[in-house]
Structure 1
Amino acid sequence: MANIKSAIKRVEVAERNRLRNKSYKSAVKTLMKNYLTAVNTYAANPSPELMQEVQSRMASAYSKIDKAVKRGVLHRNNGARKKSRLARALKRSSPAKSTTAS
């Protein structure tokens, strides 16, 4: 452990920030996983109720990603990439069902 006062404070601040960052990253991963599960369920059995569920989960995942970027937990390109992957997952599942229904 450091002996200098400023070094002790930096250790404390770094640990506090690490825990906060870990919390945001974990929440982002969980929300993305929930969203992708909902997309897969919707792809297997498309219905308006499931689409609403997908949209609400997408909104919550986007919101958490944007907050993490705003607070400096994620780089903005990383956040943009995550959001792009979420949108792409929905786009891949939707047209496959809509083209067969036509």
Structure 2
Amino acid sequence: MLKGKQKRFLRSKAHHLSPIFQVGKGGVNENMIQQISDALEARELLKVSILQNCEEDRNTVAEQLAKGARAQVVQVIGNTIILYKESRENKQIVLPR
């Protein structure tokens, strides 16, 4: 579980990132979760954009993605979700204590 200071740190790191995944009308599926999990292993921190035609609630989408990819939701702001998962082999981000 991320602490407040760690979430602030990750939000500042994610500010300059562009969303690399989009959730649309089809919602969340297994293929998307697998791709996000792989991307998190490589990057540790990423943004996911929720399109206007997505039928599910943004908090539900964030919860599904985090649970499926075994990641943590840093923030849900507008139609953007920020996810973090510590990489096993390619650790790049050192969290403050």
TM-score, normalization: structure 1?
0.33
Choose between structure 1 and 2 for higher RCO, CA contacts under 8 A separated by at least 6 residues: 2
Query: Which structure is larger by alpha-carbon Rg, 1 or 2?
Result: 1
Higher strand fraction (1 or 2): 2
Higher helix fraction (1 or 2): 1
TM-score, normalization: structure 2?
0.34
